[in-house]
Structure 1
Amino acid sequence: MHAIILAGGKGVRLRPYTTCLPKPLVPIGDEFSILDIVMTQLAHSGFRSATLAIGYLGDLIRSYVGDGSKWGMAVDYAEEDNPLGTIGPVVQLLDSLPEHFLVMNGDVLTDLDYGALLARHSSENAPLTVATYERQVKIDFGVLTADEGKIVEFTEKPTLDYRVSMGVYGVSREALRGYTPGLPLGFDELVLDLLKTDTPPSSYEFNGYWLDIGRPDDYDRANAEFPVLRHSLLKDTPLQHPPLKASA
C-alpha cells in the first residue's frame, strides 16, 4: 500500500508557528510532530511506502524524514516549484503509482484507519473515495424561505448538518488519466469532473477523532487534547528519534 502525503503548503493561517517550520513538522503535545504521528499511523496500518510532495521549507521535511526507515517505510519525494493544488502533484507521479493509493494532507490529526479506507476503496473500484466527517453549523439568525415575495417557511436559529471532506482520499490511477501533468488541479475540480461524467466518488463516513490543524486555535486544541488522545492516535508505538521543538 502506498500513500502520497501533501506537505508543500506554506501554512499561512498557522503563522507564526510556520514561520520557521513547515506545518507538518510543528510539534503536537511538545513531543511529536504531526508528520511523526501520520507516518507512525500509516506504518501501523500496513503501508510500506510513501511519497512526500514538498515545497515550502521542503528541505527540512526531507532532512527530518529521510528515507523513512525509522518508520519501517520507503519514502521518496516530489518537489513542487509552483503550487499545483491538492491533486496536481499526484498527476505528475501517476505512471509510478499502483492502481489504487492513498492521498492525504500532511496536517491532519485523526485516528482514522488509513488501511481500512484504502481497502474499501480498492474493493469498490471507485474512481475516488473521500473520507467524510459530520459537522454541525449553528445559524444565529431566523432563516426565512421566500417565494414570489411571500415568506413560506421560517426556522428559528437552525443547526445544519453537513458531511465535509477530511483531506484523506483513496484514489484510482485511471481517474486521473485525462489530466495534464504540471498543471494545477484541485480536489474540487476533480470531484466536479467526476460528477459530470456520472462516475461519482464514494464517501467513507467516519465518526472518530478528526482535526484539521489549519489555524492557531486548532493547533492549541490539538495540543490540549493530545495527552488524552495519544493512545488512540499512536497505539503506544515508541518513536526512536528526538522530539521537535517549535519556535514561534
Structure 2
Amino acid sequence: MIGLVLAAGAGRRLRPYTDTLPKALVPVDGERTVLDLTLRNFAEVGLAEAAVVVGYRAEAVEERREKLERQYGVKLRLVRNDKAEEWNNAYSLWCARDVIAEGVILANGDTVHPVSVEKTLLAARGGDRSIILALDTVKSLADEEMKVIAEPEAGVRRITKLMDPAEATGEYIGVTLIEPSAAAGLADALKTTFERDPQLYYEDGYQELVDRGTTVHTAEIGDVPWVEIDNHEDLARGREIACRL
C-alpha cells in the first residue's frame, strides 16, 4: 500500500497564494504545507512511497520533490492531470487509476488532519472492506460539506454536498483507504462519472459504485481537529491546527 495525494487543483479562492502555487503547497505552519503534513502522516504509518496527482503549477511540486523525499523518507512519483484547470477531481482521481491498483491511502491535497485518521483507516481494514472513507460524525454540518448517509454494516447509502445536513450521518473528510481489489471498479465508476459531467467530484464516483451495488464502508475518526482548506478563513483554521500536529 502506498500514499496518494490529489494536488492538481488551482485553489482560486486562496489567491494570491495560489497565483504561483497549487493549493497543496500553500504554507500552513512556517514553511510546512498541507503536502508536507500529509507525507509526514504517510511516513508515520509506514508508507514508503506516494504518488501525487499534479496539474495546476505542477512545476512547483516537481521543484520540491527531492527535498520532500529526503525530509520524509517517502519516494514520490508524479501523475499528470492534463485537464486540471478545466475538469473537476473525478477525472483527477481517474488519472491515478494505475496507482490505485497498488492499494492506496488517498488524501485530498487541501485537508489538514492528524495521523490518527490514517491509523483509524488502517485499523478498519479486513473482510470485504475494500473502500473505507474517513467519516467525521462529531462536526456540525452546513451546506458546503461533503455529507454522507451511512449504516454500520451496509455502508454508504448516499454521499453528496446536496443534502439536508440533518439527514447526514457525518462528513467525509477527504481521506480514503482503497484496496487493490477495488481499483478496477472504481476506475470504471469514475470514468462514467466524468463522462456524464466533467465538473463532478470523485465522491460522485463513490456514489456511482454504491448505485452499482458495491459496499463503500466508513470509519469514524472521532473528535479530532481537521479542516478542508477552500478559502482564507479555512486557511486560518488550518494554521491553528497545523501548528499543533
Shared fold, TM over 0.5: yes
Taking only aligned residues, the RMSD between alpha carbons, in angstroms, comes to 2.8
* Corresponding residue SS for 1:124: coil
Structure 2 residue identity aligned to 1:176: L
Q: Distance in 2 between matches of 1:137 and 1:97?
A: 30
- Tell me if 1:216 matches 2:232: yes
Give how far 1:62 is off: 1.1
Q: Is the 8 A contact 1:137 1:161 kept in 2?
A: no
Question: Compared with structure 1, are the counterparts of its residues 76 and 111 closer, same or farther at alpha carbon in structure 2 (3 Å cutoff)?
Answer: same
Residue 150 of structure 1 corresponds to: none
Amino acid paired to 2:78:
Y
3-state SS in 2 of match to 1:223: helix
Is 1:129 matched up with 2:132? yes
Deviates more, 1:67-76 or 1:11-20: 67-76
How many angstroms does 1:86 deviate by? 3.0
Deviations 1:94-114 (A, max 9, x none): 345445311111111111435
Of structures 1 and 2, the one scoring higher in RCO (CA 8 A, sep 6+) is 1
**Any conservation in 2 of the 1:130–1:201 contact (CA below 8 Å)?**
yes
Three-state SS of the structure 2 residue aligned to 1:129 is strand
* Cα-to-partner distance string for 1:183-236 (whole Å, 9 max, x where unaligned): 656323222222212223111111211111111011112224444x1xxx2xxx
Q: In the alignment, is the contact (CA less than 8 A) between 2:49 and 2:75 conserved in 1? A: yes
Find the counterpart in structure 2 of residue 10 from structure 1. Answer: 10
Q: Percent identity?
A: 22
What residue is the counterpart of 1:40 in the other structure?
Answer: 40
Q: Match of 2:112, as an amino acid?
A: L
Do the aligned partners of residues 71 and 31 (structure 1) sit closer, same or farther apart at CA in structure 2, a change above 3 Å counting? same
Give the C-alpha shift of residue 19 in structure 1: 1.5
Task: Find the structure with the greater CA-based Rg.
Answer: 1
What SS does structure 2 have at the residue aligned with 1:125? coil
* Alpha-carbon offset, residue 36 of structure 1: 1.2
Alignment partners' CA distance in 2, 1:115 and 1:221: 21
Alignment partner, residue 206 of structure 2 = 191
Name the one with the larger helix percent. Answer: 2
Alpha-carbon shift at residue 177 of structure 1 (Å): 4.8
Contact 2:51 2:99 in 1 (8 A): no
Partner residue in 1 for 2:61: 61
Q: Which residue of 2 aligns with 1:24?
A: 24
- Distance (whole Å) between structure 2 residues aligned to residue 103 and residue 225 of structure 1: 20
- Mapped contact 2:120–2:219 kept (Cα < 8 A): yes
Contact 1:5 1:51 in 2 (8 A): yes
- Look up the match of 1:164: 171
Supply the distance in 2 between the matched residues of 1:90 and 1:222 (Cα, whole angstroms).
Answer: 24
Q: Which amino acid aligns with 1:206?
A: I
Structure 1 counterpart of 2:119, from 91, 116, 119:
116
Hey, what does 2:160 align to over in structure 1? none
Deviation at 1:121, TM superposition (A): 5.4
Asked whether the equivalents of residues 5 and 109 of structure 2 are also in contact (C-alpha less than 8 Å), the reply is yes
Higher strand share: 1
Q: Report how many residues are paired.
A: 210
Paired AA for residue 36 in structure 1: D
TM-score, normalised relative to structure 1: 0.73
- Compute the displacement of 1:61 (Å): 0.8
Structure 2 gap ranges (5+):
144-164
Q: Out of 67, 92, 104, which is 1:89 matched to?
A: 92
Aligned equivalents of 1:71 and 1:78: distance in 2? Answer: 19
Corresponding letter in the other structure for 1:199: T
SS of alignment partner, residue 59 of structure 2? helix
CA contact under 8 A between 1:112 and 1:206: conserved in structure 2? no
Question: Is 1:42–1:114's contact at 8 Å kept on the other side of the alignment?
Answer: no
